[in-house]
Amino acid sequence: MIKVDKIRKLFKKTLVLHDISFEITSGDFVAIMGPSGSGKSTLLYSISGMDSISSGSVLFEGINISEMQEDEISRFRLSKMGIVFQNPHMLRNLSIFDNIILPGLVAKKESPDNIRKRAAELMKRMDIHEIVDRDINEVSGGQLQRASICRAMINNPEILFLDEPTGALNSSATDQVLKILEDLNDEGITIMTVTHDPRVAARAKKVLYIRDGQIAASKEFVEGADRLKELDRWLNELLLGGDKFVLNE
């Protein structure tokens, strides 16, 4: 689905991403981990077209989105991708429901009636149908994050990009969001998430560890393995090994 080839990102003469290459296949669930300031979020923004790259290429189903103009990539992202942030970006003058349907109305892929019907179905599935008419300051953090997932799913995206989706949530809300993401992935939605939380990364099929703007190591989980225990052991080995990382373990 996505091929990232030797991308670099310069910010004020500082190399934030350095010759990063990897692929995401349809149905993948990829988690990006690494120390603070390692370039995790910058990588996600660069791959999704929310940020420009200095060199290299990002191919989405063979289309080089890194060469698109800003308005072109915005339309492409609206149609093909869903984005979820740690702190949901919602309009304060709209209800939860209206925030969810807004990207659908802008994209015009379906009729307004179908968009509203889909939004209602998504909210019911996420167990937030009771907050349909509430303002964004009248709901809990977990409810707001589930509403953000509804909004990201409103245009039937092929991939969900998530930046620390559970970073501001308590344990109960985190578990709810993780179950939703796992179910969506089981249904074929491709997911890429940036996270510092091993509980989130353990739900993924593949983990990329970023250090100093480079992929220092990667880990694929074996089906049926105790992913949290395996991930914990792997991360500890990375930390103890200093700069001696093993690629594609």
Distance, CA of 130 to CA of 124 (rounded, Å): 8
- 37-46, 49-58, 170-179, 235-244, range with the lowest pLDDT: 235-244
pLDDT tens profile 69-126: 989 999 999 999 999 988 888 999 999 999 999 999 999 989 999 999 999 999 998 8
Q: What is the pLDDT of residue 242?
A: 53
Topology of the domain comprising 2-241: Rossmann fold (3.40.50)
- Token couple for 6: 């030797």
| Best CA proximity match to 82, nearest among 107, 62, 56, 58 | 107
Percent with pLDDT over 70 in the chain:
96
Tell me, what's the pLDDT at 170?
Answer: 85
| pLDDT, position 244 | 41
Burial class (CB in 10 A: 0-12, 13-18, 19+), 15: middle
Residues β-bridged to residue 10: 15
The H or E element containing residue 187 is: none
3-state secondary structure of 49: coil
Q: Which phi and psi (to 5°) does residue 62 adopt?
A: 85, -10
Between CA 27 and CA 186 the distance in angstroms is 8
